[in-house]
Amino acid sequence: MPWGPRTPQDLTQRALAVAEAAAAHRPDALIVGCNTASVHALPALRALLEPVLPVIGTVPAIKPAAAGGGPFTIWATPATTGSPYQRGLIEEFAGGVAVTEVPCWGLAEAVEHADDAAIDAAIAAAAALTPDDVTTVVLGCTHYELVAERIRAAVQKPGRPPLVLHGSAGAVAAQALRRLGESPAPGAPADGALTVLLSGREGSLPAAALAYEEGKQLGEVGPALVARPEQ
């Protein structure tokens, strides 16, 4: 869920609690599918769970964006924007490239609730902070990948080359497979089951998730349950 406005201490405590609840189900790996949680809590999570349980974090795709050479922006939650971790990635991988950090106030929360009006307003506000000459936008929050094309439409300028968007999903999935010593099977059907934990207790996929194609795919994996309010 959106953790961007929380303090680093609160983020770490919540991430540890969530991870322990997930670890109780004996997974093969734990993916922290949140840039903000990874930025602030990944060392604590790995100290708690590894080497027994591999922990794969999610970080902004700054390295591939910088490799493109053009000026780019990093759209991220307020907690990730300006964080020492993100600044360190910029210094390490984007030397000599113009980088603008854009805090996207309210965007993750709007995506979480599938609130179209709020999504459009948050995207418009972030687009207004994005320089006109950028060639690339790093989607520094996994929520943003669900509305990537809406972001593209808001930032793309007439007469400019097609905007490049860099998310993290593909790289995170590949890293998880590497940690598990497995290889992807192109075209192979996905199987398995879905367990949803809400406040550490088994629940159902929130109804808002079904507003997105990715959520619909998840909904087809596990048993159809009636969504209940978050606790």
Task: Tell me the catalytic residues.
Answer: 34, 141
| Burial class for 196, CB neighbours closer than 10 Å (0-12, 13-18, 19+) | middle
Cβ within 8 Å of residue 40, ≥6 positions away: 8, 11, 12, 15, 79, 83, 85
Q: Which of 15, 68, 62 is nearest to 40 (CA)?
A: 15
**Residues 83, 198: Cα–Cα separation, whole Å:** 28
Asked whether the beta carbons of 73 and 99 are under 8 A apart, the reply is: yes
Q: How far is CA 103 from CA 13, 60, 77, 107, 207, in A?
A: 23, 13, 6, 9, 27
